[in-house]
Amino acid sequence: MVTPTQRHTKGKRNQRRMHIFLEEPILVSCQKCGKAILPHIICPNCGYYKGRQVVNILEKLEKKERKRREKEIKTKEKEEKGERKERPLDLRQLSKK
């Protein structure tokens, strides 16, 4: 049986191991809902891939979860519409500022 002839120092061992580590995954935002997802994968939040619906997520959810998710989607759409359309200020709003 062969034994190593020389002892490896801690520095040599650590230099060998310095490339062994976990890398942070590359995430992209979903086009529909804006959540962070892995690229080339269906969004688990909304079920869309490349701008079209592939999986109907709401069918698979229970009644409580479905209502909560629908409410989230509606509020998100309202926020997007609110950002797009800026209402002109009336006298009450001007007096508050």
Question: Does this model's pTM top 0.75?
Answer: no
Q: Where are the beta strands (DSSP E) in the chain?
A: 28-29, 36-37, 48-49, 52-53
Q: Can you say whether the dihedral through the CA atoms of 35, 42, 84, 82 is positive or negative?
A: negative
Q: One digit per residue, pLDDT tens: the chain, 97 residues?
A: 678 788 899 999 999 999 999 999 999 999 888 899 999 999 988 889 998 999 888 777 788 888 888 888 888 888 877 765 666 777 777 777 5
- List, as one string, the DSSP characters of 55-91: S-HHHHS-HHHHHHHHHHHHHHHHHHHHHHSPPPP-H
